[in-house]
Amino acid sequence: MAEKEQNSNARPAAKAKSKAGKESFWSGVKKEWNKIIWVPANEVGRQTGLVVFISIVLGVIITVIDQGALHVIDWILSF
């Protein structure tokens, strides 16, 4: 019986501790968020354009190599 009383008394304290932990967590998140150095929008746009350009170029290169390999394999199999 004494165990049940101790367990029921422990729960509110745990909830209070949990709430305080959540508040300190979010205050820590806010502190870290303020430390972020954001990249300027024009830099993001330039880097995004560069990634798209390189992706297109690599896609074309892979397509050319694939088509060349296909023609070579067809030529070999035609004998």
**Tens digit of pLDDT for each residue in 9-20?**
555 555 556 666
Q: pTM for this structure?
A: 0.56
pLDDT at 79: 86
Q: Which residues of 4-36 are buried (b: 16+ CB within 10 A; e: fewer)?
A: eeeeeeeeeeeeeeeeeeeeeeeeeeeeeeeee
**Tens digits of residue pLDDT in 34-78:** 999 999 999 999 999 999 999 999 999 999 999 999 999 999 999
**If pLDDT is split at 50, 70 and 90, which confidence band does 24 have?**
confident
Report domain extents, the chain. Answer: 1-37, 39-79
